[in-house]
Amino acid sequence: MSHCDCEKDIYLPESATLLRKERMTEWEDLFEFKIDSGRSLGHMPGQFVEVSMPGIGEAPISVSSSPTRADTFEMVVRNVGNVTRAMHKMTVDQKVGIRGPFGTTFPVDTAMKGKDILFICGGIGLVPVRSAIQYVFDHREDYGRVAILFGAKNPASRLFTEEMVEWGKQKDVTILETVDRRDEYWSGIEGVITTLIPLVKMDPKNTVSVICGPPIMYKFVIVELENYDFDPGSIYLSLERNMKCGVGKCGHCQINNLYVCQDGPVFNFADIEDIEEAI
Amino acid sequence: MKVKKLEKSALDAWVDDCIAQGNVHGVQAQDERFVFGPIEKAADLCLGYDVTILPPKKYFLPQREVLNTYSKDEGFTSVVDDEPFVLFGIHPYDMVAISQTDKLFEMDNPDIHYLRRRENATLVVSDIESMSENIFAGSMGTATVDDGFDILLTNIGDAYLVDVRTDKGEALAASISDAPDASEDDLRKREEVQQKNREEAQRHKLNFDPAKLPEILSKAYKHPIWEERAEQCHSCGSCNLVCPTCYCFNVCDDCDWSLETVERRRIWDGCLLNDFALTAGGHNFRRHRASRYRHRYLRKGEYVPGKIGEIACIGCGRCVTACTTKIANPVEVFNTIAEDSE
């Protein structure tokens, strides 16, 4: 029997305090946390943490802010399960448990460097990608053109609307939005997210695409990108699964042999296009 | 220590001595079947058993265990089980399963809850004395085992051989250090017992070398057998529950009545259960029975072998017995796929 030299308990959360909570939409709130020990989270864009609401449970939540911004970190959370429902009832100064960060990152320091970047986000898919968008804008000179395509169900469910205005003021940035169903005030584009792809003229040979959205979105977006000669190796996706333990043990997040919590959540499409359960 | 030879009465005396000194668990009869549980006297230990209902996995990954506690004052605190214990009568195939699970809980992110229990355990393996109705360990190369344990017991007819392999084993066997050494003839008898076990532990017979399983299964994702068999699957998870190499788990919080303290518990889970891959948004990534049924076999024969280099089905046959609709026999599944892949 081999010995466990490591005394670290991989399931033990550390305490963090809620500094700020903001209503984003009817269903989503933004939370800003600081780890009580004073350490910064140490994450990179695309990673997630396990958030504990004591007595309720633990859930995987992606980090929505860039590590370039502050010693605190932000998450945007949809009120959809036991843990997130409890989070939505929180008030400032309340505490949660945090484990992580876990998982792979968007390749902001590798494959994306020097390239034009095409961000394609559906709904709360914008939440983890926002971390990468902020990171890119904080190192603006390291990247080429930036296009952000964002699709929401309806105008009321759009996220980061004020921040998106600021992003749009940056140099060489194109932002296109669409909604599945317009309302009386929406004068913009109506339709699914793929309708935006022909509208941005990106050079497929010099572009890295970053995609995040509901499961159904990936198939259609990838077909459309491939129609425009984007190489599978230039496409990165963040996949959702039930990352229960975050450390590659519990089995809930497996896609065939891959553990999304460790091998993902960010995958290069070339690595998973032949894996049946992935997309 | 050389291999010792103990008459049955001397073996019982040694077991009673172990019980007097510490926390001893082992195989005992429960109605018509056998279980691992605390042993109060040597006479309760059944080394002649065929198979236990649950594998000894429960000693390292209990059905429920507290991982940590939370209170407002103390915050989160780790709970790690630290009590030494002895486990008597593990069959070789179950020992192979324990060694596999050791690797999985130690690699990448070591799990101190599992590993600490494992360090605290002294494992006494006993060679199989009677074959269970569905055993196929002989087909999987796990009817006998040569490492991982602290002591190996073998019934050679008129006596037991006690083969001590580790320091922990030495400590447990200290009181029999003066017992007679096994003779060349005794060791030859042991080899005969083991050879016979390798041949006879094949109530179901795999028609090919199990080492070929990952290769064969890697091309079987779309084989019709998954749909055909899953038609009969109740998604009850019995096959997961009795499997010595299944280790998937769920974690849930239990709050006490005062709402002051919380226990965070790890409980067994099973990939055949309907909501195993369900996410909070309501999307179930393995919604179809066939996809869950397939996942279990690919995990045993392809995915886990990709991680640890060993086939994660050890041929105990418990799933064959436990399955209420008789669709769980891995040998039938693997043989069918292998035949079709030729």
pLDDT in tens, chain B (342 residues): 899 999 999 999 999 999 999 999 999 999 999 999 999 999 999 999 999 999 999 999 999 999 999 999 999 999 999 999 999 999 999 999 999 999 999 999 999 999 999 999 999 999 999 999 999 999 999 999 999 999 999 999 999 999 999 999 999 999 999 999 999 999 999 999 999 999 999 999 999 999 999 999 999 999 999 999 999 999 999 999 999 999 999 999 999 998 899 999 999 999 999 999 999 889 999 999 999 999 999 999 999 999 999 999 999 999 999 999 999 999 999 999 999 997
* Separation in Å, CA of B70 to nearest CA in chain A: 7
The one-letter amino acid at B339:
E
Distance CA A224, CA A230 (A): 9
Strands A28-35 and A258-259: unpaired
| A195 shares a domain with A142 | yes
| Domain contains B205 | no
| Domain contains B323 | yes
Structural contact between residues A174 and A147, judged by C-beta atoms closer than 8 angstroms: yes
Average pLDDT over residues A176-186: 96
| B17 shares a domain with B132 | yes
| B147 shares a domain with B43 | yes
B231, B235, B239, B240 alpha-carbon torsion, rounded to 10°: 140
**B119·A1 Cβ contact <8 A:** yes
pLDDT of residue B281: 85
| A158 shares a domain with A49 | no
Residue carrying the six token digits 């792809």: A197
| Domain contains A9 | no
User: Among all residues of chain A, which has the CA nearest to that of B70?
Assistant: A54
| A215 shares a domain with A123 | yes
pLDDT of residue A5: 47
| Domain contains A215 | yes
Taking 80 as the threshold, does the pLDDT of residue A54 lie above it? yes
Which of B102, B283, B303 faces A215 most closely, judged by CB atoms?
B283
| B251 shares a domain with B218 | yes
Compute φ and ψ for A119, nearest 5 degrees.
Answer: -95, 130
Check CB contact of A85 with chain B, cutoff 8 Å: no
| A234 shares a domain with A120 | yes
| Count of other CB atoms within 10 angstroms of residue A171 | 9
pLDDT of residue B61: 98
Per-residue buried b or exposed e for B236-263, using 16+ beta carbons within 10 Å of the residue's own CB = bbbbbbbbbbbbbbbbebeeeeeeebbb
Which token pair is B239? 């096959």
| Domain contains A54 | yes
| Domain contains A267 | no
* Separation in Å, CA of A9 to nearest CA in chain B: 6
| B150 shares a domain with B30 | yes
A1 or A232, greater pLDDT:
A232
Taking 50 as the threshold, does the pLDDT of residue A4 lie above it? no
| B236 shares a domain with B140 | no
| Domain contains A263 | no
* Structural domain ending residue among the three candidates B200, B219, B250: B200
| Mutate: best of A249, A255, A261, partner B, most B CBs <10 A | A249
Orientation of helix A126-138 relative to helix A161-168, angle to 10°: 30
Which token pair is B38? 């605390």
| A222 shares a domain with A174 | yes
Taking 50 as the threshold, does the pLDDT of residue A1 lie above it? no
| A123 shares a domain with A98 | no
User: Among all residues of chain A, which has the CA nearest to that of B105?
Assistant: A249
pLDDT of residue A262: 97
Distance CA A216, CA A210 (A): 16
| Domain contains B79 | yes
Check CB contact of A93 with chain B, cutoff 8 Å: no
Short-list B246, B306, B226, B63, CA closest to A259: B306
Structural contact between residues B289 and B295, judged by C-beta atoms closer than 8 angstroms: no
The domain in which residue A40 lies consists of 14-102
Structural contact between residues A260 and A254, judged by C-beta atoms closer than 8 angstroms: yes
Taking CB atoms within 8 Å and a gap of at least 24, the contacts of B175-183 are: B175/B14, B175/B17, B176/B4, B176/B6, B176/B10, B176/B14, B177/B1, B177/B4, B179/B4, B179/B5, B179/B6, B179/B10, B180/B4, B180/B5, B181/B2, B181/B3, B181/B4, B181/B5, B182/B2, B182/B3, B182/B4, B182/B5, B183/B5
Taking 70 as the threshold, does the pLDDT of residue A154 lie above it? yes
Taking 60 as the threshold, does the pLDDT of residue A268 lie above it? yes
| Count of other CB atoms within 10 angstroms of residue B130 | 11
Instruction: Enumerate residues 6+ apart whose C-beta is below 8 A from B258.
Output: none
User: Among all residues of chain B, which has the CA nearest to that of A85?
Assistant: B280
Distance CA A116, CA A208 (A): 6
pLDDT of residue B342: 79
Residue A94 is part of a domain; what is its CATH number? 2.40.30.10
* Separation in Å, CA of A1 to nearest CA in chain B: 6
| B267 shares a domain with B188 | no
Which of B68, B116, B279 faces A11 most closely, judged by CB atoms?
B68
| B231 shares a domain with B189 | no
| Domain contains A29 | yes
pLDDT of residue B1: 80
Domain count, chain B: 2
Average pLDDT over residues A166-183: 96
| B163 shares a domain with B24 | yes
Distance CA A209, CA A193 (A): 14
Check CB contact of A90 with chain B, cutoff 8 Å: no
Which token pair is B56? 């000894």
Residue A195 is part of a domain; what is its CATH number? 3.40.50.80
| A129 shares a domain with A94 | no
| A220 shares a domain with A190 | yes
Average pLDDT over residues A165-194: 96
pLDDT of residue B259: 85
Distance CA B296, CA B272 (A): 7
Structural contact between residues A117 and A133, judged by C-beta atoms closer than 8 angstroms: no
* Structural domain ending residue among the three candidates B178, B200, B222: B200
Short-list B51, B22, B48, B23, CA closest to B36: B51
Which token pair is B94? 């179950």
Strands A28-35 and A189-190: unpaired
DSSP B180: P
| A131 shares a domain with A71 | no
| Count of other CB atoms within 10 angstroms of residue A278 | 19
| B129 shares a domain with B176 | yes
| A225 shares a domain with A199 | yes
The domain in which residue B324 lies consists of 210-341
CB interface of B with A, residues 281-320, below 8 Å: 281-283, 285-286, 291, 295, 298-299, 302-303, 306-307
| Domain contains A20 | yes
Distance CA B290, CA B228 (A): 8
| A85 shares a domain with A34 | yes
Compute φ and ψ for B210, nearest 5 degrees.
Answer: -60, -20
| B227 shares a domain with B176 | no
| Mutate: best of B90, B253, B275, partner A, most A CBs <10 A | B253
Strands A189-190 and A173-179: parallel
Residue carrying the six token digits 């259960």: B273
| B225 shares a domain with B100 | no
| Domain contains A2 | no
Which of A6, A11, A251 faces B271 most closely, judged by CB atoms?
A251
Check CB contact of B59 with chain A, cutoff 8 Å: no
| B89 shares a domain with B9 | yes
pLDDT of residue B213: 98
Per-residue buried b or exposed e for B167-189, using 16+ beta carbons within 10 Å of the residue's own CB = ebbeebbeebeebeebeeebbeb
Angle at B161 between CA B27 and CA B134, to 5 degrees: 45
| A199 shares a domain with A154 | yes
Confidence check on the interface: ipTM exceeds 0.85, yes or no:
yes
Check CB contact of A9 with chain B, cutoff 8 Å: yes
Instruction: Enumerate residues 6+ apart whose C-beta is below 8 A from B21.
Output: none
Identify each DSSP E strand in chain A by its residue range: 14-23, 28-35, 48-53, 57-62, 73-78, 95-102, 116-122, 146-152, 173-179, 189-190, 207-212, 235-238, 254-255, 258-259, 266-268
Domain count, chain A: 2
Taking 50 as the threshold, does the pLDDT of residue A3 lie above it? no
Angle at B263 between CA B258 and CA B265, to 5 degrees: 145
Which of B75, B110, B248 faces A6 most closely, judged by CB atoms?
B110
* Structural domain ending residue among the three candidates B200, B235, B265: B200
Which of A240, A249, A254 faces B279 most closely, judged by CB atoms?
A240
Which token pair is B309? 């280099």
* Separation in Å, CA of B179 to nearest CA in chain A: 27
Distance CA B205, CA B182 (A): 34
